[in-house]
């Protein structure tokens, strides 16, 4: 009885099932491995009376190319970048909103310097692709909206703050400006595994970063030894965010080396005090290392600000000026040492 009910139901469904007006049928041509496709109907026409709309991309053909040329086009440029930026003037670790703002500011005030950015993710931008709790809008407290005006990012003015309709609008605009800068190179999908530390006159100084592919960094425990690479730098700016799987990495390493006295960690949320503290505390924490953005909260114990982004922008911009001053100071030291040797 159950079987007859099922058969009856199938027959009923079959009677109302729509018949497609167009179907693509795979037909194997000769002995070739790939099936060719034809429209239903001997002449390939639509059986339902529809006609294909003409577009500017009909009968589109790409220029021919050899696969090896594609490979060489990518690898030759990347290895040239690795060679050029092996000795950078300033390295920025972390390409979130603070790091990108730092790179953007440096591209304006120091276009003659070589700036390398290290970003562990494939996609730069950090948490600035969305607002709070994965909502679209980005809230920026005044006067941090000045960078939005400079970048010509539109927003709704709410009096004491502004709202960008989608955080990705700001981040993509800022990212495009940074990537267009001729003196900035972004190495994404790359992790800063460690710091280069030099000791001079009894003082330790950050002198660069130790790098590896992020996927390698994540699998050191599953594979045999996979040694890293290095980038030397006069100054390192770290903006790796608050504590997380790979966050606050520079602060945690400095603490392990005894170069900062303690890492109290980020305090609970207080929006009104948090942003001021992040910007005002942006500084060179040890010789050669500038901290900006939420990584500062880990070493200072300052509050988190939650879903407002202005402090990230301004902290990054301030870090650019602090880094430039530290770079000039370091250059003066090197010049004196070279004069003594000469």
- Report which of residues 245 and 161 the model is more confident about: 161
Question: What local confidence, expressed as pLDDT, does residue 21 receive?
Answer: 45
Checking if the pLDDT of 204 tops 80, the result is yes
What pLDDT digit, counting tens, does each position of 81-104 carry? Answer: 999 999 999 999 999 999 999 999
Q: Round to whole Å and give the CA distance between 39 and 46.
A: 8
211: phi then psi, degrees, rounded to nearest 5: -120, 160
Would you list the DSSP string of 51-103? -PPP-TTTT--PPP--HHHHHHHHHHHHHHHHHHTTEEEEEEE--SHHHHHHH
CA atoms of 296 and 110, how far apart (whole Å): 24
Span of 81-95, 144-158, 242-256 with lowest mean pLDDT: 242-256
Q: pLDDT at position 52, please?
A: 85
Note the pLDDT tens digit of each residue in 123-145.
999 999 999 999 999 999 999 99
Q: Are 187 and 179 in contact (CB under 8 A)?
A: no
What distance lies between CA 141 and its chain's CA centroid?
23
């Amino acid at each position: 009885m159950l079987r007859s009910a099922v058969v009856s139901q199938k027959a009923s469904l079959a009677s109302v099932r729509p018949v497609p007006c167009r179907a693509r049928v795979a037909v194997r041509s000769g002995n070739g491995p790939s099936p060719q496709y034809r429209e239903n109907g001997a002449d390939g026409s639509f059986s339902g009376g529809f006609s294909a709309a003409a577009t500017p991309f009909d009968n589109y053909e790409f220029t021919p190319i050899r696969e090896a040329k594609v490979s060489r086009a990518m690898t030759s440029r990347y290895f040239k970048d690795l060679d050029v930026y092996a000795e950078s003037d300033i390295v920025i670790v972390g390409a979130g909103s603070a790091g990108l703002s730092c790179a953007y500011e440096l591209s304006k005030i120091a276009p003659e310097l070589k700036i390398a950015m290290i970003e562990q993710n494939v996609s730069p931008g950090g948490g600035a692709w969305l607002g709070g709790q994965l909502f679209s809008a980005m809230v920026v407290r005044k006067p941090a909206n000045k960078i939005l005006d400079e970048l010509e990012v539109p927003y709704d003015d709410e009096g004491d703050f502004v709202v960008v309709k989608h955080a990705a609008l700001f981040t993509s605009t800022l990212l495009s400006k940074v990537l267009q800068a001729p003196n900035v190179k972004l190495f994404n999908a790359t992790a800063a595994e460690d710091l280069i530390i030099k000791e001079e006159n009894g003082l330790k100084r950050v002198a660069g970063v130790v790098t590896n592919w992020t996927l390698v960094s994540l699998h050191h425990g599953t594979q045999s030894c996979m040694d890293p690479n290095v980038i030397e730098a006069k100054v390192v700016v770290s903006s790796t965010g608050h504590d997380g799987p790979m966050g606050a990495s520079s602060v945690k390493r400095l603490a392990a080396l005894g170069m900062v006295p303690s890492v109290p960690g980020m305090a609970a949320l207080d929006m009104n005090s948090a942003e001021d503290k992040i910007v005002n505390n942006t500084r060179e924490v040890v010789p050669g290392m500038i901290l900006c953005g939420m990584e500062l909260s880990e070493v200072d114990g300052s509050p988190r600000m939650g879903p407002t982004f202005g402090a990230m922008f301004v902290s990054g911009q301030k870090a650019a000026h602090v880094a430039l001053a530290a770079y000039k100071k370091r250059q003066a030291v090197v010049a004196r040492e070279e004069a003594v040797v000469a």
